[in-house]
Chains A and B, each alone.
Chain A
Amino acid sequence: MKNNLFRMILACISLAVLSGAALASEVVMTPFGQSPDAMMVKVVLKKLGVDARLEKLLQADGLQAEKALIVVVAGSSKGLGEAGIDKDVEIARMQAVAGAARAKDMKILVMHIGGKGRRGTLTDLFIVEAVPMADSLIVVEGGNHDGLFTGLVEGTDLVILPANSVRETEAPLQQVLTGWGVLQ
C-alpha cells in the first residue's frame, strides 16, 4: 500500500515536471567565438527549467539525440587563445557542428546577447557565418545597432527576436523552445 502511494506521488511529480520543463538531454549549447556568453544563456535556460548541456568545443560527433542546438555567438580573443584555436578553426568547427545538426533534423537557435559591446571585427566574422545556420535568431538590444543582423536576414524567413537584456531573453527563448517542442 505504501509502495503504491509512493509510485503515485512519483508519477504525479514526473508529470508535473514534464509538463513544464524540458528533459535534460533535449538542448545542447556551444559558444561560437569562445566568449563566456553561452554560460549566461545556460543560467536563463535553467530558470525555464531547461538543463542544457554546454560544450565549449562541441564537435559534430558530440551531438546526441537533442532536439535543439543553441549557438551563442561572440568572438573572444582570450577565449580562442585559451582554447588553443584561431578563428578559422572555430568557423570550421561550427560549420561541421551545424551540418551534423541539420543531418539529425535538429533545430538551431543562434543568439547574440552581448549588445553593442560584443560587436567588432572578430564577432562580426562569426555572426556572418552563424546567421545562415539559424532556424531562429535572438538578438539583445544594441547588437543590431548598425543593422548587421537585419541585413543578414533580409530575403529569408528568419525573424529577429529582440530582447532588452540577457535576463529578458527568457521570453523569446521560451517562445522558440516551446515552438520546437522542447518546452511544453
Chain B
Amino acid sequence: MKRTVPCFFAGVLWLLAAPPVHAVSVAPLLQSKQGMVTAAHPLAAAAGAEILEKGGNAVDAAIAVSFALGVVEPYASGLGGEGYMVVAMADGRELAIDFRSTAPALADYANLQKAGGLNAVSTTPKAYCVAGVPAGIGKALELARLPLADLVAPAIRLAQEGFEVNATFSRVNMDAYETLVENAPEFLDDGLPWAAGATFRNPVLANTLKTIALSGVDVFYNGELADNLDRFMRENDGWARKSDLQAYRALAKTPFKGSYRGYELSVPGSPVGGPRILATLNILEHFNLAIMSWDDPLAIHIMQEAMILTSLDQRRWMGDPETNPYIPENGYMSKQYARQRAMQIDLSKASDPATWHSERVGDPGPYENGGNYIDVMLQARRQEVIEGANVDESASTTHFSVVDKAGNAVSWTQTISSFFGTGNMLDGYFLNNELVNFKNEPEEGSPINLEPGRRPRTTIAPLVVKKDGKVRWVIGSPGAGRIGSTIVEILVNVIDFEMSLENAIRAPKFTGYDAYKAIQLEDDFPQKTIDLLLEMGHEVERYPHPDLYFGGPNAIEVGHDGLLTGVGSIRRQGGAAAPQKQTGE
C-alpha cells in the first residue's frame, strides 16, 4: 500500500539568493557538502552559514543562529528564553546542554495563590522563569572556535539594519495583539501589528547584543543586564531577582541513547521530551509499519495510541531530575516496558479518552533497573493515577539544526513558552512565561509542582539520529503538544516509509497527545482513511495542510556520500542555508 505523498515538492531547489555580505546560499530546501543550517527564518539560517563560511564549526554556527533567531523571531525565542541542545561532535563526543529556565525564589504556591493562579499571571512578569539561553550559549562556547563577538555580529546587524517582516511574524503579532497593546506597545508598528513586507528594526536589542559581545554572556546574570531585569521586576511586581540570575547554571549532561530499527538516537533527558520520543519509538518497534504507508489508518491508529500511552506516562512521571527525588526515566525508555505498553494497544478500536487518566497511565518504575516484562507483568498490580491534562498550548518555540563540513552536528530548540512569552519586553527581548508549565496547585507526587529553582517540564526534543555511528539526521520541532508526534512521524516516515526528509516533513501530520481527545490532523489524508479512523472510534478534528499548529521542524539529512540536505520549516517559512565555501574543518 505504498503511496506517493500527494502534491509534495517536485524537486530540490538550488538557489543562490543571499545578499553579498553573507556569501551563502539560502533556500527552503538546499543541498551542499560544505555544511548546512536550517532554521525557522532564512535570515537566521544565513547567519549560521555565514559563520561556517568564516571557519566556525557547527557549534559556532548554532550560537550565531540562536542570537539571530532572537532578532528575527522575537516572539518565539531569545535572550529571555530557554531550551535544550544536543551536540554530536565528529570525534564521537556527545553533549546535551540543559539551559531550561528555573523558577525564581519568590515563585512559590503561597505567592501564586495570592496572585490568583497561573492563568492570572501568565502575561505578567510573575510568569517569568530565569532565562537560560545566554548561559546555554556560554556552555556551548566551550566547544566553539570563534570569539563570541563574531557570533553575535550577524544578530546585531539584523537588529540594527532591520529585515522584512514575513507572514508568520505578522500573523503571530496579530494573534498576540491584545497582550502587546497592554505589555509592550513599543514593539508595535505605531499601535498596529507589523504587516508582512514592513521593515522591522530593534535598536534596543542591538545595543543589548553589543553589551553581550563586549562583556560576555555573564553580563546577563551578574552585570548590567541582570540589574536591568532586577529593576524591571521590582517595578512591575515580578518575582525574579538578580540573585536568581546569579544562581542560574546551564547543565552539561550526557544525552540519553536509544535505538529504532537499527538507528541510534541521542536525545535530551527529562524534563523535556526526549525520553518520550524514545518511549514511543520503542512501542512502535513492535509493529511492522513498513508494510503500511503514511496514510494507512492502521498505522495512524497504532501511532496515535502509542503516543497517547507515552504522553500519559510523561505527564505522570517525568519532571526535573535535579529537584525531584524520583524520575523513572530509564524505565520509561526501556524496551521491556515498551513491550508491556504495546500489549495495551487494541488494534481494532480507539481507546476511550475518558479512561486515559484513570486506567491507561503505566508504571515504568519496575523497569528502572532493568526489569523483564514477563516478571513485571506476572507480579503486576494495577495502579490508578489520575492527573488532568490542562494545557492548550500554542505553536510557539523554535528549532534549528546545524551540520558542518567536518560532521559536527547540533540540534537546538529554544523557546519563551507562549508566543511573545509574558508579552513584556526588556532591553529589546521578550520575557518568557515558562511558569505556566508548572502545576497550578500542588499535587502530591507531581513532578511539576512549583518549587523555586525547579525547571518546568516541556515537550521540546532536539535530537540527533545516527546509523553505524555516523550522523544521519538532525531533527527537532516547535509546536508544544504536537512536538512529540511531529518528530515521531518524521522518523517513521523516513525510516519505515522510506520517504525523503523533505516529504517526511511535508507529509500531513496528526497528533497523539493526552491533552487532545481527538486526533487532530492536517487535512490531506484520503477520506477513506478518515472514515475508518472514525469507524474505529477515533474522534477526528481537521486542520488545513500545512498548518503552523503542527510545528515547524527544521532538519538536516546527511547522505551516505556526505551530501547534506537541509529542509526549512514549510509550516513557518523557514529556510536552509549553506556556505558557498568553507574554510574550517
Q: Chain B interface secondary structure, helix, strand, loop or mixed?
A: mixed
Given contacts A39-B181, A120-B544, contact A114 B174 (CB under 8 A): yes
Q: In whole angstroms, how far apart are the Cα atoms of A44 and B190 in the complex? A: 10
Q: Is the CB of A37 within 8 A of B195?
A: no
In the complex, A118 has a CB within 8 A of chain B = yes
In the complex, A167 has a CB within 8 A of chain B = yes
Q: Is the CB of A44 within 8 A of B192?
A: yes
The distance from the CB of A88 to the nearest CB of chain B, in whole angstroms, is 18
Question: Which chain B residues numbered 514 to 567 have a C-beta less than 8 Å away from chain A?
Answer: 542, 544
Q: Is the CB of A40 within 8 A of B544?
A: no
Q: Please, what's the 1-or-0 string for A33-55, where 1 marks a CB less than 8 Å from any CB in chain B?
A: 00011011001100000000000
Quick one: closest B residue to A117, CB to CB? B171
Quick one: closest B residue to A168, CB to CB? B195
Q: What A residues does B196 contact at CB under 8 A?
A: 115, 165
The distance from the CB of A83 to the nearest CB of chain B, in whole angstroms, is 13
- Give the total number of A-B pairs whose CB atoms are below 8 A apart: 42
Question: Which chain A residues numbered 110 to 140 have a C-beta less than 8 Å away from chain B?
Answer: 114-118, 120-121
Q: In whole angstroms, how far apart are the Cα atoms of A166 and B191 in the complex? A: 11
Q: Is the CB of B170 within 8 A of A39?
A: no
Partner of B193, one of A40, A116, A120, A121: A40
Q: Is the CB of B192 within 8 A of A167?
A: yes
The distance from the CB of B309 to the nearest CB of chain A, in whole angstroms, is 27
Q: What A residues does B542 contact at CB under 8 A?
A: 121
In the complex, B177 has a CB within 8 A of chain A = yes
Partner of B167, one of A36, A44, A117: A117
Given contacts A44-B192, A167-B195, contact A37 B174 (CB under 8 A): yes
Q: In whole angstroms, how far apart are the Cα atoms of A117 and B571 in the complex? A: 12
Q: In whole angstroms, how far apart are the Cα atoms of A116 and B544 in the complex? A: 12
Q: What B residues does A36 contact at CB under 8 A?
A: 174-175, 177-178
Q: Is the CB of A166 within 8 A of B193?
A: yes
Quick one: closest A residue to B188, CB to CB? A43
Question: Which chain A residues numbered 126 to 183 have a C-beta less than 8 Å away from chain B?
Answer: 164-167
Q: Is the CB of A43 within 8 A of B170?
A: no
Q: Please, what's the 1-or-0 string for B263-291, where 1 marks a CB less than 8 Å from any CB in chain A?
A: 00000000000000000000000000000
Partner of A39, one of B178, B189, B190, B197: B178
Q: In whole angstroms, how far apart are the Cα atoms of A55 and B163 in the complex? A: 36
Quick one: closest B residue to A44, CB to CB? B192
Quick one: closest A residue to B195, CB to CB? A165
Q: In whole angstroms, how far apart are the Cα atoms of A43 and B185 in the complex? A: 12
Q: In whole angstroms, how far apart are the Cα atoms of A165 and B197 in the complex? A: 10
Q: Is the CB of A118 within 8 A of B178?
A: no
Q: Is the CB of A40 within 8 A of B192?
A: yes
Q: Is the CB of A118 within 8 A of B181?
A: no
Partner of A43, one of B167, B178, B192, B197: B192
Question: Which chain A residues numbered 95 to 120 have a C-beta less than 8 Å away from chain B?
Answer: 114-118, 120
Partner of A118, one of B174, B195, B544: B174
Q: What A residues does B197 contact at CB under 8 A?
A: 165
Q: In whole angstroms, how far apart are the Cα atoms of A36 and B420 in the complex? A: 16
Q: In whole angstroms, how far apart are the Cα atoms of A37 and B181 in the complex? A: 12
Q: Is the CB of B192 within 8 A of A166?
A: yes
Q: Is the CB of A43 within 8 A of B195?
A: no
Q: In whole angstroms, how far apart are the Cα atoms of A167 and B191 in the complex? A: 10
The distance from the CB of B197 to the nearest CB of chain A, in whole angstroms, is 8
The distance from the CB of A94 to the nearest CB of chain B, in whole angstroms, is 20
Q: In whole angstroms, how far apart are the Cα atoms of A116 and B197 in the complex? A: 15
Question: Which chain A residues numbered 1 to 56 have a C-beta less than 8 Å away from chain B?
Answer: 36-37, 39-40, 43-44
Q: Please, what's the 1-or-0 string for B194-234, where 1 marks a CB less than 8 Å from any CB in chain A?
A: 01110000000000000000000000000000000000000
Partner of B191, one of A43, A115, A118, A164: A43
Quick one: closest A residue to B541, CB to CB? A121
Quick one: closest A residue to B547, CB to CB? A120
The distance from the CB of B285 to the nearest CB of chain A, in whole angstroms, is 36
Quick one: closest A residue to B167, CB to CB? A117
Q: What A residues does B544 contact at CB under 8 A?
A: 120
Q: Is the CB of B174 within 8 A of A117?
A: yes
Q: In whole angstroms, how far apart are the Cα atoms of A37 and B178 in the complex? A: 9
Q: What A residues does B190 contact at CB under 8 A?
A: 167
Q: What A residues does B171 contact at CB under 8 A?
A: 114-115, 117-118
Q: What B residues does A118 contact at CB under 8 A?
A: 171, 174
Q: What B residues does A117 contact at CB under 8 A?
A: 167, 170-171, 174
The distance from the CB of B8 to the nearest CB of chain A, in whole angstroms, is 21
Q: In whole angstroms, how far apart are the Cα atoms of A43 and B188 in the complex? A: 12
Q: In whole angstroms, how far apart are the Cα atoms of A39 and B192 in the complex? A: 9
Quick one: closest B residue to A79, CB to CB? B178
Q: What A residues does B191 contact at CB under 8 A?
A: 43
Q: Please, what's the 1-or-0 string for B157-178, where 1 marks a CB less than 8 Å from any CB in chain A?
A: 0000000000100110011011
Q: What A residues does B167 contact at CB under 8 A?
A: 115-117
Q: In whole angstroms, how far apart are the Cα atoms of A40 and B190 in the complex? A: 11
Q: What B residues does A164 contact at CB under 8 A?
A: 195
Q: In whole angstroms, how far apart are the Cα atoms of A97 and B177 in the complex? A: 25
Q: Which of B167, B189, B192, B197 has the most CB of A within 10 A?
A: B192
Q: What B residues does A116 contact at CB under 8 A?
A: 167
Q: Please, what's the 1-or-0 string for B376-418, where 1 marks a CB less than 8 Å from any CB in chain A?
A: 0000000000000000000000000000000000000000000
Q: Is the CB of B195 within 8 A of A39?
A: no
Q: Which of A114, A120, A166 has the most CB of B within 10 A?
A: A166
Query: What are 20 sample pairs from A and B whose C-beta atoms fall under 8 A apart?
Result: A36-B174, A36-B177, A36-B178, A37-B177, A39-B177, A39-B178, A40-B174, A40-B193, A43-B191, A114-B171, A115-B171, A117-B170, A117-B174, A118-B171, A118-B174, A164-B195, A166-B193, A166-B195, A167-B190, A167-B195
The 9 closest A-B CB pairs, nearest first, are A117-B171, A165-B195, A36-B178, A36-B177, A43-B191, A166-B192, A167-B192, A43-B192, A40-B192
8 new A-B contacts at CB < 8 Å, known A36-B178, A39-B181, A118-B174: A114-B171, A114-B174, A115-B170, A115-B171, A117-B167, A165-B195, A166-B195, A167-B192
